[in-house]
Structure 1
Amino acid sequence: MKILAIDTAASLCAACVYDSDARAEAGRAVIDLGKGHAEHVMRVIGEALQAADTAYDAVDAVAVSVGPGSFTGVRVGVAAARGLALALKIPAIGVTTLEALAVEAQDSFPGRPVLVVVGNRPDSLAAALYDATGACTQAPALASLDRLAESARAARPVLAGNAAPLVAEAAAGDVDLGPQRATADIGVYARIAAGRPAGESPRPLYLRAPDARPQTAYALPLKER
């Protein structure tokens, strides 16, 4: 089975083709954008398919990062995956950035629990805890840096995610650090999806409200009927 994986949840716009039968990646394309994923995602997907010498109609499933991450970036990736799945009549499979980072950490630290922490607000970081088997024991939620440091001191997990160094410093202990990024390697998303049955269409995982707010300074009064 060939899986097309897409990740636009953070600064990267990434796609790869993974052959689950061979357990090998066939091709990928990755660019570091920061912003502007909507303008580039289809080109990146096309380049990944070309690198894998694979046509759209040879893809059996689409995997996509559903966040947490950039509000707009997550929406772009999920919309692209759902659109392709609908057009190609194949399943779309959602994978969170937290579980992908946990799997990547356990590749380097097998048999260890992993605490994944992403974000840039010390008072409100997105986190999830995974046990030594990879099962999620604390579902994705927002937590303060102090609370996460306390969890790190108690459970002694491997820390992963772009906020992992912050938690390690706050914990003031000898901790192991896994990947220190906001998202995992694109191939990890494909590997996870390969072992997951298709379910409902993927939906963005938002743990906080968007920063954008309706403009009110120049709002016109409603006309009375």
Structure 2
Amino acid sequence: MPSTPRILALDTATQACSLALFGRGELRRRHEMLARAHNRHILQMLSDVLQGEVLADSVDVVACGVGPGSFTGLRVAVSVAQGLAWSQRLPVHPFCSLKAQIYAAAEQDLLVEGDHVLSTIDAQIGQLYGLWGVWTGCAVATDRSPFICTPDQVPLPDGSDKLVILGSGVNYQQQFSASRLAKAAQHGMITPDAGVIATLLASGAISLDLQAAHLLTPQYVQRNIGWKKLSEQGRHD
């Protein structure tokens, strides 16, 4: 692995279809709002960022947002990432889409050190996916796992009044039962940004957690969601 790896990152957990390639100090990025159309556009977006280059000559690691988020969207990202990595024998780096939103907000200077950040994605069933993190000024500190709940059941961190809510879950603000949440700063347009993740991974600001392509799976918060790893799917002749 080179000291500055070339990172192809993608995320389709939300309405945004985000794909980026960072290599040799250059970032190429496509980021579009494509609700329920990720599968029709993502391969063209890949072609756009490759700019005629061969994948094997341009990428060292495929980074993939694994959710939680849209079931269909997660399947698109994971399937594409697996196919690309498997075909070129490249390692993959899974990343949490909710945590990626916090990094995207920080990149836009929407966070300050010490902010307690609730990153959310609307689950479209009267519930939201959420993750609490603390912005340290250069990274996201979390000691909890992503959760799904109704807006009135969102858990609160201890102590801090410096609360920020990110992502499409802000649509439920009027249903938040805690007054602290109702008064929090809101940035509802934030979505995972593959360009931010690719840049941070390439620079070492986020540590790589490499695994084989067949181990990549969507991060479903609900239980009993049917998904088989490549190694579990068997042959399809």
TM range (shorter): 0.7 to 0.9
The answer on 1:190 being equivalent to 2:191 is no
Deviates more, 1:150-159 or 1:86-95: 150-159
Question: In the alignment, what sits opposite 2:147?
Answer: 141
Give, in whole Å, the separation in 2 of the partners of 1:9 and 1:123: 17
| Match in the other structure for 1:35 | 36
* Residue in 2 that maps onto 1:132: 135
Q: Give the structure with higher Rg (CA).
A: 1
Structure 2 match to 1:59: 59
Cα deviation, 1:145-174, whole Å, max 9, x if unaligned, reads 1232x6279543211111125337734453
Q: Does structure 1 retain, via aligned residues, the 8 Å contact 2:31–2:193?
A: no
Q: Is the Cα contact below 8 Å between 2:166 and 2:190 reproduced in 1?
A: no
CA RMSD after TM alignment: 2.8
Deviation per CA, 1:109-154: give whole Å up to 9, x if none.
1312211121155753211111233111221011221232x62795
User: Contact 1:69 / 1:182 at 8 angstroms: preserved in 2?
Assistant: no
State how many pairs are aligned.
Answer: 205
Residue pairs, 1:35-184, within 5 angstroms: 35-50=36-51, 54-57=53-56, 58-107=58-107, 108=109, 109-111=111-113, 112-120=115-123, 124-133=127-136, 134-148=140-154, 151=156, 155-156=160-161, 157-167=163-173, 170=176, 171-172=178-179, 173-178=182-187, 180-181=188-189, 183-184=191-192
Distance 1:192 1:142, change over 3 A: farther
Whole-Å Cα distance in 1 between the matches of residues 39 and 172 of structure 2? Answer: 31
Over 4 Å off, 4+ runs: 120-123, 209-212
Q: Secondary structure at the match of 2:147?
A: strand
Q: 1:82 to 1:6 in 2, by over 3 A?
A: same
Deviations 1:180-210 (A, max 9, x none): 1473222123234433223334310112369
Gaps of 5+ in 2: 227-237
Structure 1 segments unaligned to the other structure (5+ residues) = 213-225
One-letter amino acid of the structure 2 residue matched with residue 17 of structure 1: L
The residue type equivalent to 1:207 in the other structure is: V
TM-score with structure 2 length normalisation?
0.74
Please report how far the alpha carbon of residue 48 of structure 1 lies from its aligned counterpart in structure 2 after TM superposition.
1.4
| Deviation at residue 80 of structure 1 after TM alignment | 0.8
Percent of paired sites with the same residue: 26
Deviation at 1:211, TM superposition (A): 9.6
- Write the deviation string for residues 64-109 of structure 1: whole angstroms up to 9, x where unpaired: 1111121111111111111111112221111111001112233421
Cα distance in 1 for partners of 2:160, 2:175 equals 16
